[in-house]
Amino acid sequence: MKRLLIAAFAMLALTAGSSAQQLPAMTNQTANIKRTPLQKFDVPGANYETVIGLAEIAPNANIGRHTHPGIEGGYLIEGGMTLLVEGQPPKEIKPGDSWQIPTGTIHDAKAGSGGAKVIASYAVEKGKPLASPAQ
């Protein structure tokens, strides 16, 4: 099953070189999601790191249910999508909209008929996978 940004979306571009090699979840490509790492850096004084990436999601594609070991923030650049957060009603996202997903919350997203282009940021615990599939 397809995983984002992992969303992310996303979802979900890190700086070139070794940073990109450390983030396989952000650089994996599927037929429905193109992920481009942008940046990765440590959160000062904490056991967290920030990861920022770009995700281009094909029309009508689902990212797949997953969680993150930290908070996710997203911003829709173009297209449209439906954000599916467990325990909440579906939320339609349009260009210019942003969102936050709390640590460990199961969520998914489905791109609209024109696809979606998303910038996603994560503040996640170091040493843990950026995302994990959810049942």
Quick one: 96 exposed, middle or buried, by C-beta within 10 A (0-12, 13-18, 19+)? exposed
**Dist CA 16 CA 14 (whole Å):** 6
pLDDT for 31: 79
pTM for the full model? 0.78
**Dist CA 69 CA 74 (whole Å):** 16
**Dist CA 86 CA 47 (whole Å):** 27
φ, ψ of residue 19 in degrees (nearest 5): -60, -45
Do 116 and 88 form a contact (C-beta atoms < 8 A)? Answer: no
Task: State the chain's mean pLDDT as an integer.
Answer: 83
Is residue 105 very low, low, confident or very high in pLDDT (cuts 50, 70, 90)? very high
Per-residue pLDDT, averaged over 19-28, amounts to 41
